[in-house]
Every structure is written in structure tokens, then in C-alpha cells.
Chain A
Amino acid sequence: MSGTMVSTRDRVRAAASGPSAPPPRRRGLLRARRRAGLLMVAPAVLHALIWIGIPLVAAIVLSFTSYDVLTPPRFIGLENFRDLLSDSVFRRAVLNTSIYTFFTVPVAMGISLLIALMLNTQLAGRAIFRTAIFIPQVTATIAVALVWLWIYDPRSGLANAVLSFLGLDGPAWLSSTDWAMPAVIVVGIWQGIGLKMLIYLAALQSLPTELYEAASVDGASKFRQFFSLTLPLLRPATFFVFVTSVIGAFQSFDQVYILTDGGPANSTTMMTYEIYKSAFREFRMGYACAQSLVLFALLLFLTLLNRRITGGDRATR
């Protein structure tokens, strides 16, 4: 057995030492490995080609056409993109998506980090708190939105009941152009906190304790430790949470579909909702593809920008 080991090592060394052809057995092994690799990756690649590759190319091609499914697509050049520029509802959707993302991502990240810091202490019942905060994350947005629909009910909902208990008059949340968006944002924050908190918690628990001991010895206050140690050390986690949350927030659809249907007066319509409407209610497939490419471009831009600013995800793997 040990003889085989030595000879294998020799062969590896021989193969690595120069351009001379490896001995036949080694070559056979390598070929078998290559063939197995291709074979094992093939189903996933085939699936990705059909359900990701072709759709991406098709979206780009169709964005230059006028297409209603029933008649063949007609090439119209950049007309869809020109129409997009003058589409005030789509502009509103871009604005709404940005507002929604701005409030559900940075705000929820701050709250999540605070909760993670609270949970990262010696605390009885930590698992119970963590579970409670995480549960909305694993629940379907549709189910969650239906419950909130009921909470926001102006007459018999929980939200206004709590407000009237405090002596306040609650608005007609989802049918008010002023309050519908905040209401949708609250649901987004509420559902998204769990995952962000969990990633921060995992990151906090992997921080080196020696650094903190050293900082304590040097007399750094907890406050100082947080800003000079914790925050910089959390940068990879922050980068990850930010990017995935922005991608998620930009693609929110389900809660708007259930809660407001984009209304009232387009005050909660999102880019995803406009894409859905153009494609499956108005059957303007080419236009919907152009809208979806704008969504893609914005996400790509934000991801690259963030990579630039935070120095990227170098440390994330």
C-alpha cells in the first residue's frame, strides 16, 4: 500500500516537473476525471442554458420588438426604450422601488445589527428570541401579506385598534396615497429583519475575542470598541447583507400584489409590478422585456458600485 503511495507521489511530481507526457496510467486517470467532471456538471449546465441562458438572450432580443404572443414579434429598434423614458408610471415605479429599497435595506440593516448585538450576549432564552425574529422569514410573503392586509383594515384591523387605544385616529392605510407606501415598507422591514439579524449574529460570533480583550486592557470603551473593531470587522457581512437585500428589495412583488395592487394612484407600484402588468395584463411582451432589462441594469450598477465603495467581497471567501 505504502509503495503505491510513493509511486503516485513520484508520478505527480513527474507530471508537474515538465511538459513531458505523463505516464499512461496517470493520463488515463486524468481523462476519467475530466470525463466524470463534464458528465456530472452536464445536467445542471443544460438546465441553466435552457432556463437562464436562453431567457436572458430572449429578453434582450425581445426588448427590440413589439410582441403580443399571438402574432410574431415585430422588430421596432429602440422604440420600447424611448417609450420607457416618457412612461411616467414606470418612472414612478423606479422611484417607488428606490424608496422601498432605501427604507427596507439600510433601516432594517441597522435594526438587525442592533438586535444581533443584543443577542450576542450571554443571555438565557437567546434561541427563543432568535426563533421568534426569524420566523417571518420562512413564511410565504403571500401568507404574511394576507395577515397584514387584515391588520391594516381601517375599521377592524389591529393597527388602528392599537392607535385608537393610544387615542390616535389611524388612517385608511392601504387606500391612502400617503400611507400605502409606508405600510408596504413596514411589512418589508418586518419580514426581512430575521435573515439580516442572523447573518450579523453569525458574523459576530466568529469575531476574534483576543482583539476585544486587548482593547479592554487598553481601556477602550464599549462604544469605542464597537466603532473601531466591530463595525470594520463586520464589513464582509455588511457587504453581503447589503447586496443580497438590495437584490431582494428590488424584486419585491408578492406583498404589493396582495396589499395594494400597485395603488392607490400608482403610489405603491414597483418595477416588478410594472413588468408583470405589461407582460401579463397588457400583453406587451417586448416592452416588459425592456423594463426588465432596466431592472437588471440598475441591480448590476448598484452591485458594482457597492463593490467599489466597500472594497468588494474580497474577504467573503
Chain B
Amino acid sequence: MPPVETSARFRTGRIALYLTLTAISLVMIVPFVWMLLTSVKTPGDIAAVPPRLFPTEWAFGNYADALRAAPFATYARNSFVIAASHTVLNVVIASMAGYALARLRFRGSSLIFLAFVGALMIPTYTKILPEFLIVRFMPLFGGNDITGQGGTGWLDTWWALIIPGAVSPFSVFLFRQFYLDLPVELEEAARLDGLSELGIYARIMTPLVKPAFITVALLTFEGSWNNFLWPLLVTKSDSLRVIQVGLSVFRTENDTQWAFLMAGTTLATVPMVVLFLIGQRYFVQGFATAGIK
């Protein structure tokens, strides 16, 4: 750094920069702090005008009360089961497809790739209603006959929550990009050693794209945990409700119980924030890669 830069003007600029960034960061973080602090306030503190930042009395019992008022533990477990299933299915199926599209030439492969890219452009809201109808009229499930009539199909079942989200075209796309960059020599050498194509994928190439796996896994888990409308549409029973839907229902049923609501919201938020902090490098890399490539 040249010595001129340590001038007073430079130092003022630095201070301004830090102040601005601190202010922005505060604006981003304050709602979370507010959520955490509200979740341990008594009704009296919550109703206080003007509102107090810190509770006068720390009501940690709100969490136990919230868990009694609504089965948040069950909701969280359901969300976890769904997000974990989506992650495993997506990583396995999408990586295979991404690998095949990146490295194996076969009839129709470029057409299939184009179709996946096209699928990225179809809005969720154009698909969601027919998807709902497919679930509703799934033949031979939930009392439906072979034509899909008579029962409720996959509605209110794990099938509806897990299967439609099992593979996303975006994951296929992302995996393909990662597999494209691997050297051809590796593949050729393995082939000459008599390894099968599936073996080359599973034992040679895939271990080299571990970051891709972690990226897709984190993004899938996050998307699935945060999903709201689909689980809202396809489930009715409390035992299958996911945490985001549980929260939204809690709002309309207990309009004013902010402390419980914020306790539940904290329970729904903290796992994702912790996962983000642990996997930050990959989250950031994944989002950035998706953005640049």
C-alpha cells in the first residue's frame, strides 16, 4: 500500500466505510435479534408502548408453552424428514443425470439437456395446480381406483410431500456444470482399466466434485425446509404438517400471542442459520457458482 494512502482523507474514508457497513449489517440482523428477544418476553413487555428492546423479565418458559400450544417438535421433525429425503434423492438422481449429460454422448442427450434448461424457466405457479391435480388423482392410492377417481390419492401422505420435489432441474444443471470441468484423461484411463461407465461415475469422477455435492445438498435442504405453499396445499392433518405451515396457521389461530409465535419462528429459523454458518463456504460458493456460470 503506498504511503500516501495513510493520509487523513484515507482514514476518514475507512471510518465511513466501516460505519456504513455496520449500519447495513445491523438493519439485516435487527429483525432476528428482535425475534429472539421477543420470544423470551412476557405478555406485559410485549404490549409495552413504546416497545422495550430487552425483556424486564426473561420468560424462557415461552418455548415450553409454544411447544404445548402447537406440536412444533413434530412440525420440525416432518420438515427435517422431507428436507433430508429431498437432499438424498436430489443428490443421487440429479448427479447421475448431470454426469450423463456432461460426459456421455448418447442419442438425444443435447435435446434432454435443452429440455432441462427450458424447465428452469417454467414458473412454479404454472406447474403447481396441475401437480396438485396429479397428486389428488394418483391412481390406486388413497382409495382412488385405476382411473384416479373415488379417493384422495396422495393428498395428506408422505408421497405428496417427498416425490414431486425429489429432483430439481436446477440441480441437474448445476451438477452438469461441475462434471464438465473434469479432465477427459481420467475417464479414458478408467475405461481402459475396464471400469464400467457407472463405476467411472461413482468411483472416479464423483469423488472429484465433492464441493458440488455439498453445494447441491445445502441448497436443496434449505429450499425444502423453507418451502411453504406446496406442503400447505397437499396436507391437512397435524401429524404431517411442516414447520413453515405450522407457523402460518398458528398466526391466524392465535393472532396476538407474539411470544409463542416468535418462539416457534426461532425454532424454524435457527436450524437454517446454523446450517448456513457451518456450510457457509459451500453455500457462498454454490450461490456464486450458480450466478457466474
Contact = CB atoms under 8 A, between A and B. Distances in A.
Interface in A282-308: 285, 288-289, 292-293, 295-296, 299-300, 303
Contacts, number: 284
A233 interface: no
Contact of B292 (A45, A123, A151, A206): A206
Given A33-B105, A36-B104, A51 B127 contact: yes
A148 B31 contact: yes
Interface stretch (A75-83, A102-110, A133-141, A175-183): A133-141
Interface stretch (B56-64, B65-73, B89-97): B89-97
B8 interface: no
B9 interface: no
A8 B192 CA distance: 9
A299 B284 CA distance: 27
A62 interface: yes
Contact of B273 (A138, A147, A316): A138
Nearest to B29: A132
B136 A37 contact: no
A55 B196 contact: no
A147 B105 contact: no
A146 B226 CA distance: 13
A149 B280 CA distance: 28
Contacts of B128: 55, 292
B92 to A, nearest CB: 9
B127 to A, nearest CB: 4
Given A43-B97, A44-B97, A143-B269, A37 B104 contact: yes
B251 A62 contact: no
B240 to A, nearest CB: 17
Interface string B210-224: 000000000000100
B262 to A, nearest CB: 7
A199 B292 contact: yes
A141 B145 CA distance: 38
Contacts of A37: 100, 104-106, 109, 197
A86 interface: no
Interface in B185-218: 188, 191-192, 196-198, 201
A254 B104 contact: no
A142 interface: yes
Nearest to B166: A47
A285 B131 CA distance: 12
Nearest to A132: B25
Given A35-B106, A292-B128, 9 more contacts: A47-B167, A48-B116, A52-B169, A56-B127, A56-B130, A123-B21, A148-B31, A251-B125, A289-B129
Interface of B: 17-18, 20-22, 24-25, 27-32, 34-35, 38, 46-51, 93-94, 96-97, 99-101, 104-107, 109, 112, 115-116, 119, 121-134, 136, 163-164, 166-167, 169, 172, 177, 188, 191-192, 196-198, 201, 222, 225-226, 228-229, 233, 244, 247-248, 251, 258, 261-262, 265, 268-269, 272-273, 275-277, 280, 283-284, 287-288, 291-293
19 contacts: A33-B106, A36-B104, A37-B104, A40-B99, A40-B201, A48-B115, A52-B169, A55-B130, A118-B20, A135-B29, A140-B244, A150-B34, A150-B38, A150-B262, A151-B34, A156-B47, A164-B50, A254-B228, A254-B229
